[in-house]
Amino acid sequence: MNCSLIICTYNWPEALKIVIQSALSQSVRPNEIIIADDGSDISTAMVVESFAKSSSVPVIHSWQQDIGCRIPHSRNRAIARSNYEYIIMIDGDTVLHSDFVKDHLRFAKKKVYIQGSRVLLQLNLTKDILRKNKFKKPLFFSNDSKNKINMLRIPFFSKIISYFKNQSINRIRGCNYSVFKEDILSVNGFNEKITTWGREDSEFVQRLINNGVKKQHIKFSGIQYHLFHKERSHNSTNDEILNETIFKKSIWCNCGIDSYLK
């Protein structure tokens, strides 16, 4: 199956460099890598350009002007530019296990949203990785990470234990998911009424669920290592948009990806 790997980023080129390195070191490489850039400065463009020149996998920079947090716009632009039928979406601070893409493709089905597994790296290990410009996998019994069970990749158990959780938006993680492009287009992508951080992933997945897409969590597969950063709080306005989608059982958003497809 052909796939596009989309990496969302904003002004953290040191992390992005390590993430792209992990994407290009996959056992099954994506057909293209698209950097969904929400208005980063020239330092990020230089990182992307460097990989684009040296990589046999196309590395595409999808940039938009920095006029505030516009994650839905950035994701829609990148998805619209994608050339392949399956979309894998990650964040620019999530380093990938070498079989990450392989795992997502192994579970891929139409009308199914795949949620992968995430290991949370702690501050000291993150600093060490960024300083050395080289990823270092945490030790299982160290204090360098949280969610340690997610470090284990066991493909045999993965097929058995991965589950279709109750079809709600609980535990949605927009930094590690995959879905067919046609399913994204069927709900008009991300809702661009959301113009501050937070809830854009939950609102998007809620519309997918309303449209009959099932949510599947894969365990012991689809592993990524999330570099440490401070948590941010979402805007209450975004909660109102999400609650309206839930109440109305909305499928389509009026401000979405269709404006980039014309």
> Residue 151: which domain range?
3-257
- The pair of three-digit structure tokens given for residue 85, joined into one six-digit string: 């039928």
- pTM of this prediction? 0.96
Residue 66 lies in a domain: yes
Residue 55 lies in a domain: yes
Residue 17 lies in a domain: yes
**Per-residue confidence band for 159, with pLDDT thresholds at 50, 70 and 90:** confident
> What is the average per-residue pLDDT within 123-133?
96
Backbone angles phi, psi at 166, to 5 degrees: -45, 135
Dump pLDDT digits (tens) for 165-180: 667 888 788 899 999 9
Residue 262 lies in a domain: no
Instruction: Assess contact for 80 and 4: CB atoms under 8 A.
Output: no
The tally of domains found in the chain comes to: 1
Upper half-sphere CA count for residue 26 (Cβ side, 13 Å): 27
* Positive or negative: CA dihedral 57, 182, 45, 93: negative
CATH of the domain at 187: 3.90.550.10
Dump pLDDT digits (tens) for 200-209: 999 999 999 9
The residue among 124, 90, 74, 95 whose CA lies nearest residue 18 is 95
DSSP 193: T
Nearest-angstrom CA–CA distance, 227 and 121: 5
**Per-residue confidence band for 214, with pLDDT thresholds at 50, 70 and 90:** very high
Dump pLDDT digits (tens) for 56-110: 999 999 999 999 999 999 999 999 999 999 999 999 999 999 999 999 999 999 9
Q: What percent of the chain lies above the pLDDT cut of 70? A: 98
pLDDT at 165: 60
